[in-house]
Amino acid sequence: MIALAERALFRIGDDEPVNLGFESLVDYRRHLTPPAGLGEIANGIMIARSQVAVRANDDPLRVGAAVAAQINDDIASGFLVQSVNHIGGTALTGDWGPFIRITNPGVLPLPPLPAGLTMEDFDAQLSTPRTPPSGPPAPQASRYEVYSIGAEFTVVCKFAAGALTGEQAEALRTGTVAGVEALAEP
């Protein structure tokens, strides 16, 4: 759904594919030999990259399955773990559009609440990089945070001020919401 909303920003025919790059965070500690436990290495999270040609009316399940298959293949082949030490840059081929970075920790547990306190809303801030005095760096990817807590499903999109017009930001929002609602219908 996010890929289709991003694809809709391209002013080309609906049947024309746009080769989008995806970045997904992967905890690779258990894939090491021997597996590393929590706290045994400084950083066991890395970015897996994949690419999918996306058309305006693509099936979002096909796009998601293609991204997941590439990540799983890179894990199974050892490519992902080897890239921690040996491979720099990207391994994408051909012309491709902007990266879309999606952080998806899944379902977060409800936090314990003191008696009499009701949680009405929840917003996770999964990353807050410090902004240097010279200003924020240019974004390398559209950034999305996707998670659920309780019965609430949340998608947060972050982009630098001025990176999108108001019309483009609204198109991303409405496209993503429509995609989520379409997937949620029985």
**First and final C-alpha spacing in the chain:** 16
pLDDT at 55: 93
The domain locations on the chain are: 2-106+143-184
Contacts by residues 123-128 (CB-CB < 8 Å, ≥ 24 positions apart) = 123/154, 123/156, 124/149, 124/154, 127/103
pLDDT at 131: 61
CATH class for the region spanning 2-106+143-184 = alpha beta
pTM of the model: 0.67
Give the pLDDT means over successive 10-residue stretches in the chain (186 positions). 86 89 81 78 77 91 92 84 58 58 71 82 58 61 78 80 81 89 83
**Other CB atoms within 10 Å distance of the CB of residue 5:** 24
Q: What angle do CA 147, 153, 155 make, to 5 degrees?
A: 60
pLDDT at 48: 82
